[in-house]
A and B are shown apart, each in its own frame.
Chain A
Amino acid sequence: MIGVLKSLTATMGTFMRKPVTIQYPTEHRKVPERERAFPILLWDFNIDEPFCTGCHACERACPVECMTVTMRDNPLFAEGKSKRRKIIDEFYIDYGRCMRCNICVEVCNFDAIAMNNTWSGHELSTVDRKELILDLDQLLDLSKRKDLQAWDPAAETRASTEGRPQPPIAQVGATEDAPAAGEPLTVAERSAEEQDSPPTP
């Protein structure tokens, strides 16, 4: 009998609590920084050109063959403004085909491709599936607008291990100045580095 009253107070208690519902289309939950939506290309703001040189590495690695890449000579290299001899000419990714496996990001030698970690990578519904084939401008758009969330794995590690005994950093093949923690430089870190040392003409 007391259980009956208890259960009534329990439901009243949940009634008083704040609802957990988020009204999705008008209100968005924050996407994690490591969210892996669809691949996009990154823009090199120092030289004002894409990072991508059109080397076909991602195209060859792509398990579902959703990419089309062509390369051309870089006019800015001829002018001496850029270190890149070749630059991307045309780049198409078919988002209808892509299975978001992240392999293109891992094989890229220039860190020119990244996974979209914003909501724009998810709300992609179109009336025609041809519209899911994105060209170079569309792929670069997000990076040009600087809408991508920067993420710093080292910061997460610091936050999670703060105050705890640190494991030994030394690993096989690691040297003092080049830690082989297994984590490549992030987009944010790299652009910060390059701002420190402008390209030599």
Chain B
Amino acid sequence: MALVLWGLFGVDMNVWLDAFLRLQLIVIVMTVTVMALIYVERKFVGRIQMRLGPMRTGPYGTLQSVADAVKLLTKEDLRPATADFWLFELAPYVTFVPVFMTLLALPFMEDWGVRDLQLGLFYIVAVSGVTVIGYIMAGWASDNKYALLGAVRSAAQLISYEIPLILAVLAVSMVAGSLNLNDIILQQDTIPNALLQPLPFLILLTATLAELSRRPFDIPIGESEVVGGPWVEYSGIRWSIIFALTEYAGLWGMAVLGSLVFLGGWEFPFGTSGFWGDFDFLYQMALVFAKSSFLILTMMLISATFPRLRIDQLMAFCWKILLPFGFLQIVINGIVLMYLDSEVTRDIALFATSGALLVAMAYVTYLATRQPSREARVAAMVAARSIQ
């Protein structure tokens, strides 16, 4: 075991064996993380609602996820008689595999990912967009009009929010001058990107919530109203692949990505050259863990706080607010990076412009929420006409 780990952390070995072992490690860590995240979310949201959350299974309910996994694995795997066999059976995997593929490019420690890709950020953005196809497949194959409706809604939402997400990530890669995640992290040794680029950071948080169909943006899922959108007809293990694995592995992946790209990953407060020599990777792991946990808890807090948006509000927020400001940020970044050579003035200019844009975006959103609804305006017009 020690030998294997040593091999993973530097010693040469067969490329295929190396990749296989790294994948195995990722799979194990991902499964454990997903179970832990489900438990953490239930506990956290429970405490927010002044409940205890799961308490019965194991000490303080810690084995709840294990019990749930056993239940889901042993449940009957139903398939409607009129469903399209192959599409129906494959859709969960098509939703899950892209999420898993994003994990392969993430450098969890310095020079330790499954693969260090030169265009890692580009790869992640490209791959995570494929999930939509799984949603559409599930909705179409279920032979259920509600599933199809849910699939179309979720496709609309996912494709819309993909764009601000890309713009946010692009703005950061402009600042870093690289699409390689390792480079982006190494560049943040003194100031994390979240400070230089607060607006893209916020856009990334928002778009991540929407991409994962989490609470303020869970219109396609809507457990209580449209009973799960594209996967009304799924049950048992297939449902748990879609729901638990995809959602929470995606949450984990996006949180790690955010902590690497925006919070400085394992580089930011103390630099890469740690204090423990060969065992620096432990400290780097702890740092990434702490930062991604912070992001995950923030997202859970947001999910637990805000009510669901209406679909027109959701779309308007993406297309009319996030997207223009994302473009604006990129244009301004371009100007700043083009004309400011000194690093200090450049950083100050980046922070100032992005902060100003953030305030402007908040103000525009505030104005939009204060505007009377279309129905109210129409009613006012009708009333004015009838008086005449």
Residues of A within 8 A of B (CB): 1, 4, 7-8, 10-12, 14-15, 17-21, 23
Contacts and interface: CB of A to CB of B under 8 A. Distances in A.
14 contacts: A1-B362, A7-B305, A7-B306, A8-B302, A11-B305, A12-B48, A14-B47, A14-B49, A14-B50, A15-B47, A15-B301, A19-B46, A21-B50, A23-B55
A11 B49 CA distance: 8
A10 B363 CA distance: 22
Interface in B51-102: 51-52, 55
B305 A19 contact: no
Contact of B301 (A1, A8, A18, A23): A8
Interface of B: 44, 46-52, 55, 301-302, 304-306, 362-363, 365-366
A9 to B, nearest CB: 9
Contact of A12 (B301, B362, B365): B301
B304 A11 contact: yes
The 6 closest A-B pairs by CB, nearest first: A11-B305, A21-B52, A1-B362, A1-B366, A15-B48, A19-B52
A15 B365 CA distance: 28
Contact of A19 (B50, B301, B306, B362): B50
Contacts of A23: 52, 55
Nearest to A9: B305
A11 B362 CA distance: 21
A108 to B, nearest CB: 43
Given A1-B363, A1-B366, A12-B301, 9 more contacts: A1-B365, A7-B306, A10-B305, A11-B301, A14-B47, A14-B49, A15-B301, A19-B47, A23-B55
B356 to A, nearest CB: 15
A28 to B, nearest CB: 16
Contacts of B47: 14-15, 19
Contacts of A4: 306
A103 B52 CA distance: 40
A100 B49 CA distance: 35
B52 A14 contact: no
B364 to A, nearest CB: 10
A21 to B, nearest CB: 4
Contact of A20 (B50, B301, B304, B305): B50
Contacts of A18: 50
A14 B301 CA distance: 11
Contacts of A10: 305
Given A1-B362, A23-B55, A17 B302 contact: no
Contacts of B44: 15
Nearest to B359: A1
B48 A14 contact: yes
Nearest to B307: A7
Contacts of B301: 8, 11-12, 15
Given A1-B362, A1-B366, A17 B50 contact: yes
A170 to B, nearest CB: 49
Contacts of B366: 1
A59 to B, nearest CB: 44
A19 B48 contact: no
A11 B48 contact: yes
B69 to A, nearest CB: 24
A4 B305 CA distance: 9
A56 B44 CA distance: 58
Nearest to B361: A1
A18 B55 CA distance: 15
A18 B363 CA distance: 36
A21 B52 CA distance: 6
A20 B52 CA distance: 8
B370 to A, nearest CB: 10
B52 A8 contact: no
Nearest to A18: B50
A128 B218 CA distance: 47
Contacts of A20: 50-51
Given A1-B362, A1-B365, A1-B366, A19 B51 contact: yes
Contacts of B51: 19-21
A192 to B, nearest CB: 42
Contacts of A21: 50-52
A11 to B, nearest CB: 4
Nearest to B305: A11
Contacts of B365: 1
A24 to B, nearest CB: 11
A165 B268 CA distance: 70
B205 to A, nearest CB: 12
